Amino acid sequence: MLPIDLRGKRALVAGVADDGGFGFAIAKALAEAGATICLGTWPPALGIFQKLLERGKMDESMTLSDGRKMAFEKIYPLDAAFDSMADVPADTRDNKRYRDHGDFTIQGIAAGLQRDFGDRPIDIVVHSLANGPEVKNQLLDTSRAGYLSAIGVSAYSNVSFVRNFGPLMREGGSFLSLTYMAGERAVPGYGGGMSTAKAALEADTRTLAYEAGRRFGIRINTISAGPWASRAASAIGFIDMMIEYCAANSPLPRKMDPSDVGYTAAFLASPMAAAITGSVVYVDNGYHAMGMAVSPESLKTAEG
């Protein structure tokens, strides 16, 4: 037996506000492997998320395979659009959804981890963050502000994560982010600069793997996941069609499950993946390997 053992490790999973996305699935898989879990949650969603937890609305999804209930050591408010409070506009600071959360920036959560758990408090950081305010717009119709916002939150924030959390990591530490095939190939309708942001995230993964590997001795990888109807992904507007298309055209005609990504993340965070860094790891039923769409007629012919 070769188990994934993350006992004694602490993970920060950023971008979790419900139990329906890849971020939650990753947190659960890391917990199954024995890690303790901290979360970073967008301030406007934090109150609702905490109420769901307090009222037991997520008890079923929080139950681990051995019957234990997953627990979060700490849930930090996090808006990854901001590196420090000096970057936060006054109208955001004063907004009722933000003003009672203290320092909700990337530097703020780094300081919070040190305050709560010591100088080198973290082993695993998961960047499960993406936001494109104009994602329904074609790239040609995307404003400069929308384009830069998509890149800032969805890609640059990962650079900031590595810069701020890298020095806090213990030996063997690793970073993981989530990307999508639109960073490599055209996916019509996945607009607003989000395809550009995913391409930047993948390019940064390679560069950060070298720089952070030499500076901090840590690993940087990203998972390119197949489409899943999380709350965030549903904002695209045609996520069900994306899921059906990928299922019809993938080598493995099975439905994706968030646990597929969660288990891969647990492996990549473990010592078993000690030599894997700078990689885009595909968890998409093989869809990335296909060079031609499969029609029902040609599928019948191919299968004989």
Catalytic residues: 180, 190
Contact 176, 223 (CB under 8 A): yes
Q: Tokens 């904002």 correspond to what residue?
A: 235
Residue 215, both tokens: 């500076």
Contact 169, 263 (CB under 8 A): no
Residue 240, both tokens: 């069900």
Nearest Cα to 37, choosing from 22, 24, 50, 49? 24
- In this structure, which amino acid lies at residue 30? L
Element (H, E) at 205: helix 194-216
Q: Kindly tell me the burial class for residue 173, based on how many C-beta atoms sit within 10 Å of its own C-beta (0-12, 13-18, 19 or more).
A: buried
Residue 172, both tokens: 């063997």
Residue 111, both tokens: 């300081």
Helices (H) and strands (E) in the chain, counts: 11, 7
CA separation for the pair 294, 249 (Å, rounded): 5
Classify 78 in phi/psi space as left (phi over 0), alpha (psi -120 to 50) or beta. Answer: beta
79, 82, 83, 85 alpha-carbon torsion, rounded to 10°: -100
CA separation for the pair 42, 79 (Å, rounded): 5
Contact 42, 129 (CB under 8 A): no
